[in-house]
Amino acid sequence: MAGAGPGSALGGLLDYKTAKFALTRNRRVGLLHRLLQLGVLGYLLGALAPAPPQGEDVIFLVTNFVATAQQAQGTCPESAAVLDAVCSQDADCPMGNPVARGNGIKTGKCVMFNTTHSTCEIYGWCPVENSTLPRKPLLAEAENFTLFIKNTVHFTKFNFSKCNTLQTNDPTYFKTCLYDSFFSPFCPVFRVRDMVEAAGETFGDLALLGGSIGVRIEWDCDLDQPAARCQPQYSFSLQDRNYNFSVSHRTASYYWDSQRQLHRNLLKLYGIRFDISVHGQAGKFSIIPAAVSFGTGIAFFGAATVLCDLVLLYLDAKAEFYWKEKFEEAKPPKCKTEAAA
């Protein structure tokens, strides 16, 4: 019997393998294939979409306040509005303990706050902070105040910058204009009342206890178009109402009296907080990145098919059957020789 010689090994190197497609009714592998294809498609779409730059800023506008004048360090009754301060005897006010959510340290005495309530005496800034809110906002005219919101967006990938203000030589333009999406879209001067109403609220209700308004500046620019068409869109939304007195700030001014005693005037300020956020995206067609992304996508689609073939041929319970169906050696027909006469 003759063994395989070097010639047969060399012939194997010259063999050509061509793909043979076999349709299989394997739902698990079919589902895997479609999921991989969707993943590749999502990658392509993500590669074509630029990352949106963002920025945030906050403006606080005072619309109401509560004043407590001429406070000095000393002892006084805690407010009856503080639950931890209500007492009926000195034992309810252990000396040295701070008043929870209060204004000072307990002195150990239970004293009269008014004709109907007794509270613990404290050491702190006296008299204690006034908690009586006005029925109407004290700075109601703030609804006619205006906010000048200047914003510049940079798309460094495309070396493109744009400002939301009109480029003008008129020094009085921004002093007289108000933003209007149709008549004056290049004037970023907004009236406070208009912003609150655009968020679905009324200024009087929001100004009493304060609240938060979200201001969103959206840039969506097609840089294949003229630069003048790249304009921001503004939207306003109510983020929070101050039912729990959360949108408030305290500030104090300190001074010495003629007796060289330190005093202060305390203000608790309520207002509207404007949370400004900037979002943007830009796109511009370029043949080289498009070609690279397209070629990468085609390669990934091919890789998905190879992976599914490996699962089918090595991991599936019927792998042996799929091997026989997928791979077949094509042999040429043998020539018939006629017998010599």
Residue range 6-54, pLDDT digits in tens: 555 555 666 655 566 666 666 666 676 667 667 766 665 655 455 655 5
Residue 85 CA to residue 79 CA, distance in Å, equals 7
Whether pLDDT at 150 is above 80: yes
Tokens 């908690």 correspond to 131
Interatomic CA distance for residues 247 and 137, integer angstroms: 14
Nearest Cα to 40, choosing from 286, 306, 284?
Answer: 306
CB atoms within 10 A of CB 85: 28
Residue 185: band (very low, low, confident or very high) from pLDDT cuts 50, 70, 90: confident
Q: Rounded to whole angstroms, what are the CA distances from 36 to 31, 41, 176, 297?
A: 9, 9, 58, 12
| Per-residue confidence (pLDDT) for residue 109, from 0 to 100 | 96
Nearest Cα neighbor of 179 from 167, 161, 163, 166 is 166
Give the pLDDT band (50/70/90) at residue 118.
very high
- What contacts 330, CB < 8 A, 6 or more positions away? none
* pLDDT over 50 (residue 245): no
Report the share of the chain in percent with pLDDT over 70. 68
Does residue 103 carry a pLDDT above 50? yes
Taking only the tens place, the pLDDT of each residue in 152-184 is 888 888 888 888 888 888 888 888 899 988 888
Highest average pLDDT, of 98-107, 276-285, 315-324, comes from 98-107
Work out the pLDDT band at 80, boundaries 50, 70, 90: very high
pLDDT of 334 over the 80 cut: no
Average pLDDT over the chain, rounded to whole?
80
Q: How far is CA 51 from CA 16, 154, 220, 314, in A?
A: 46, 12, 12, 40
Distances (CA, A) of 287 to 44, 51, 200, 275, 292: 15, 19, 46, 40, 9
Higher per-residue confidence, 120 vs 5:
120
Worst-scoring range by mean pLDDT, 73-87, 298-312, 325-339? 325-339
DSSP E strands, the chain: 54-77, 104-112, 118-126, 146-148, 152-155, 160-163, 189-191, 211-222, 232-241, 248-256, 262-283
Give residue for tokens 């004293």: 111
210 neighbors 63 (Cβ within 8 angstroms): yes
Condensed to tens digits (0 to 9), the pLDDT of residues 229-239 reads 888 999 999 98
- pLDDT class of 324 with cuts at 50, 70, 90: low
The most confident of 12-21, 233-242, 266-275, 316-325, by mean pLDDT? 266-275
| pLDDT grade for 74, boundaries at 50, 70 and 90 | very high
Percent of all residues in the chain with a pLDDT value above 90, rounded to a whole number: 37
CA 264 from centroid of its chain's CA atoms: 40
DSSP line for 285-303: --HHHHHHHHHHHHHHHHH
Say what the pTM is: 0.64
pLDDT band (50, 70, 90) for residue 252: very high
Closest by CA to 87, choosing from 63, 61, 113, 62, is 113
Average pLDDT of the residues in 64-87: 93
Residue 131: which of 203, 72, 206, 209 has the closest Cα?
209
DSSP 57: E
pLDDT per residue over 202-243, tens digit each?
Answer: 998 888 888 899 999 999 888 888 888 888 999 999 987 654
Rounded-to-integer distance, Cα 173 and Cα 188, Å = 11
Strands 262-283 and 211-222: parallel
Residue 20 confidence (pLDDT): 62
Q: Measuring CA to CA, which residue among 200, 164, 162 is closest to residue 181?
A: 164
Give 288's pLDDT tier (boundaries 50, 70, 90): low
Distance CA 131, CA 69 (A): 13
